[in-house]
Structure 1
Amino acid sequence: MRIQNAFRLALVGTLGVGAGLLILSAVASLSTILTYVGVALFLALGLEPAISGLERRGLPRWAAILLVVLGVAALVAALLLTVIPIIVEQVGELIALIPVIIAQLNRVDWIEWLQEQFPLLKIDEISEQAAAALTDFFTNPDKLSELLGGVWQVALAIGSGVFAVIVVAVLTVYFTASLDAMKRATYQLVPASRRARFADLTEQITQSVGRYVIGQVSLAAVNGVLSFAFLSIIQAPFPAVLAFVAFLFSLVPLVGTLTGSIIIVLACLIPGVGSPLTALVAAIYYLVYMQIEAYVLAPRIMSRAVRVPGALVVVAALAGGALLGILGALVAIPTAAAILLIIKQVVIPRQNER
């Protein structure tokens, strides 16, 4: 190889590596924005089945979009107006009960109890060291400034969360209104000979994602409503708050219901407002409910949405959560369904033709 060609090859390779690193750096810098876009597109696809259903009934697309968006907005507003006052009231009750809970805890000589349970540990020395560390923390200006900085970070996180919700809502409306135009523009990038096949696969995938979103929200709503009814019957502490927790966590597939159930059971153990018996009854209820959800509700609700083997569901959800967090867990199952669809309708037929 001549030196000139070797230099040219090295230069092109270096530029290629640099361009790749630049692209990766840009993706990392835009990760938050890409997450907003991904969530908004996911929600827009979830609204698409309802819009298509109204179109089949004779409504023009703009009217169907307007009706669905207004319906969702009215539903969210009604839910917030119904749930938020109850949650605020019950959170206020919880704050008011904090002195009672502390008094309940102070009735027990924890040092003596711990010493009886763990006789080999020097509980007195440990408690003295802990008290000295707390005193040093609150009298040290540097550590107090760190604490205030942490409070400021929490405030910024809350503000960022509110901003994210607003941005995702606006993007969802935009994507919902322009979804057809976006798909048509994408189809134009495919060669004409393959355009019809590509369009058919895209429609199947988007419909599958939309049905999956509706199915997951339906499962979460069932869990939230049943949780509120059951927790109210057994007089669990703050049933509205805990039912809202059950609804939110149930939106996350695979592990969401389990995580929310554990939090609810632990909340039923709060001294002064809960009891071990209430927690035990709640634990039994959620064990039974998770079996019913897994073997009765989920198959019936999700059977038309995505057809993915159970083992692949677990692997996809775990991999998606590890890579992209909650967003990854949400989109992992429809992504796996889309890949399976492409394999069945594209890859396997091509292999059979050879």
Structure 2
Amino acid sequence: MKIQNAFRAGLIGSLGVGLGIILMTAVQSLATVLTYIFIALFLSLGLDPAVKWLETKKFPKWAAIATVVVGVLGVFIGVLFAIVPAMIDQMVSLWTHLPAEITQLQTQDWIAFLDKQFGDVVDINAVIAEIGKFFSDPANISKIAGGALAVGVGLANAISGTLIVVILTLYFTASLQLVKDTVYKFVPKSRRDNFIRMSEEITGGVGKYVVGQISLAVLNGFLAFLVLTLIGGKQALLFGFLAFLFALIPLVGTVLSWILVTSGQLLLAGPETALIICIYFLIYMQIEAYVLSPRIMNKAISIPGSIVVIAALAGGTLMGVLGALVAIPIAASIVLVVKQVVYPAQDQV
């Protein structure tokens, strides 16, 4: 009897391990699809406050959802046809003229100044010449780009992934309340009211956080593009878009935008333009940190600054930019659960 029980336990255990391996393999295989779903759900929570705001303006629910959906589609199509072609042209132009721009640095006065100051330590002109030679070699360019086929496949995947995310976002936005109601039904009735209250508070905070972070990123990208255009910067649209993308990263995004745009303009447009854009970013970062961000984010999340930093670093390490973006609202949700569930439970012991 004991041998039979031991065999049964071993069999059940091995089956459990095998099932776990199968599930982990399935999750790994569906990682891309799950990422699309997660991003779309995250964005739909960001659109939900707009739907609720329209409902407060006497819009019927279906009309509020339709208005938001049409607005998102309009923005997506507008960006796709108005901005993307020009940005691709600037990317191609930058990539084509990059070797010549690097080589031309040797004639710049500020390079001569640096060479005079640090020439005994490092030969700056020789370094620039080697970098220009590297980028002039088609074999090296192919290695960096991963080959023309890989670039084409990557671009096609990016476009298809964006379309999938947009479609899923619109679907989740239209059916978000239905999804919530379905989840709520799995909670026992005695705890359902408290669960609904906490869930609405969490999803509302996440939605406001998404709106706030995207708003700051759009403002950062637009102002960078505008300043570059006014001062005669090079590839203004491309660098404005890069500033928008980097600004999506919490905490350090604007700093990365500052470094990238300033370095790019120093290479392409010269030290005067780089100095102006550098000063602009220094001023903007102060305004964002002390004026814009507190006003936009004050109703979204309320967690200690140390947890914000730790959450962003952990999320970025695990899932890259997406992880850094979603880590803060997840941390805020955990803090809320601890305050409203764990602490009261401990007080009753």
TM-score band, normalised by shorter chain: 0.7 to 0.9
Report the counterpart of residue 156 of structure 1 in structure 2: 153
Question: What is the TM-score when the length of structure 1 is the normalising length?
Answer: 0.84
Question: Is 1:269 matched with 2:256?
Answer: no
**1:334 paired residue among 329, 334, 339:** 329
Which whole-Å CA distance do the structure 2 matches of 1:88 and 1:147 have between them?
18
Structure 2's unaligned 5+ residue stretches are none
Cα RMSD for the two superposed structures: 3.4
Q: Deviations over 1:326-353 (max 9, x none)?
A: 2211110110111111111111111111
SS at match of 1:269: helix
Checking the alignment, whether the CA contact within 8 Å between 1:36 and 1:168 is kept in structure 2 is yes
- Number of equivalences: 338
- Pick 1 or 2: higher relative contact order, CA cutoff 8 A, min separation 6: 1
Please give the alpha-carbon distance, in whole angstroms, between the structure 1 residues aligned to 2:155 and 2:46.
Answer: 26
Change in 2 beyond 3 A, CA 1:148/1:312? closer
The CA deviation string for residues 257-290 of structure 1, in whole angstroms up to 9 with x for no partner, is 122221101111225xx11232233223222322
Q: Which amino acid aligns with 2:337?
A: I
Answer yes or no: is the 8 Å Cα contact 2:102–2:267 preserved in 1.
no
Report the equivalent of 2:201. Answer: 204
Mapped pair 1:31 → 2:26:
no
- Bigger drift between 152-161 and 13-22 goes to 13-22
Distance 1:345 1:266, change over 3 A: same
Partner of 1:224: 221
CA distance in 2, matches of 1:353, 1:222: 48
Report the counterpart of residue 282 of structure 1 in structure 2: 277
Which structure 2 residues correspond to residues 1-354 of structure 1 after superposition, within 5 A?
Answer: 2-84=2-84, 86-87=86-87, 90-91=90-91, 94=94, 101=101, 104=104, 117=119, 150-271=147-268, 274-354=269-349
Partner SS for 1:246: helix
Q: Residues of 1 paired with 2:159 and 2:202: CA distance?
A: 31
The sequence identity of aligned pairs, in percent, is 46
Secondary structure at the aligned position of 1:202 is classed as helix
**Cα deviation code 1:80-125 (max 9, x no counterpart):** 55534653565576578568636735769x9xx89x946899x99x
Whole-Å Cα distance in 1 between the matches of residues 76 and 143 of structure 2? 38
The one-letter amino acid of 1:325's match is: G
User: How far 1:73 sits from its partner (Å)?
Assistant: 2.0
Which amino acid is 1:267 matched to?
G
Cα separation, 1, equivalents of 2:103 and 2:328:
48
For the 8 Å contact 1:35–1:327, the answer to whether it is kept is no
Contact 2:217–2:245 (8 Å) recurs in 1 = yes
Residues 1:322 and 1:214: Cα distance change in structure 2 (over 3 Å): same
Higher-Rg structure is 1
Q: Which runs of 5 or more residues in structure 1 are unaligned?
A: none
Cα deviation code 1:35-67 (max 9, x no counterpart): 000000001111001111112332222211110
Can you list the C-alpha shifts for 1:210-248, whole angstroms capped at 9, x where unaligned? 101111111112212321232233322122222222112
Deviation for aligned residue 1:8: 1.7
Q: 1:102 to 1:277 in 2, by over 3 A?
A: closer
Q: What SS does the aligned partner of 1:268 have?
A: helix
Supply the distance in 2 between the matched residues of 1:144 and 1:351 (Cα, whole angstroms): 61
Name the aligned partner's letter for residue 215 of structure 2: S
Tell me the CA shift for residue 27 of structure 1.
1.0
CA contact (8 A) 1:208 1:305 kept: yes
SS at match of 1:270: helix
Query: What is the rounded CA distance, in whole Å, between the counterparts of 1:106 and 1:353 in structure 2?
Result: 73
